[in-house]
Structure 1
């Protein structure tokens, strides 16, 4: 472009540049309009369109009876929100079930030592980190149970040390 621009005078160069800019602007505008049209029209799997009666979402290839049977007359619910709600509900059910069925084993008799484990008295550390039994059929989550126990039993000053012990003991 530099070699060719040397052959043009300033007025011709401005004309060429303005023409190029106008064409580039028009091409970009057309591409954006096409993108927006395609995104609006087909993003959710429906042919979305407006007419004098309002907004419509027609199915693409699905029969009307199937759409009505699936209660999709107004389009599907947002997929991400539906999946999130389902996952949250399942997790809540699992947590409630574990809380209702969980049995606390008697804590093993504390060691009669006064030594410190990471700054926590050994007897207290063993009490807090004792294994928690889970009902048959459920998956044991020792790290989570250990951290939950720290949260329930340790004072603020001991919580950090207790959680560090949990990480050391259960991530090996």
Structure 2
């Protein structure tokens, strides 16, 4: 029987890019990085956008978090200098992105922004029909296209 591979049957390149184990407070931890070599190389083009998403619900046990990074810079000589980085609104993630990609423009993810607003509207006991209207395309999301200065100076 052939070994399990993380790529198509006719592509013999490894999808697993790295597998690093370490100890943290006497607990064994592991970081694994996956990515198709051709897709990783696409990120070398100038002006690329980098999308970062932390996914918790689909993380298999015993792992705690899955990061879908679209770029693996560890243990390779390639340098990625994205023009934009799109991610959710976790403060620690924003700090890390600004540290690693200081020349990139950081953009908050529209999905996560709307999700946070929807949750707040529920906490504020806004009627479900009103929440549905606000969350519909062309309503709340148009605010992302208004220049920030105009939002601050609005009457």
More strand by share: 2
Tell me if both proteins adopt one fold, taking TM over 0.5 as the criterion.
no
Bigger relative contact order (CA 8 A; separation at least 6): 2
Give the TM-score of the pair, scaled to structure 1. 0.23
Give the TM-score normalised by the residue count of structure 2: 0.25
Bigger-Rg structure (1/2): 1
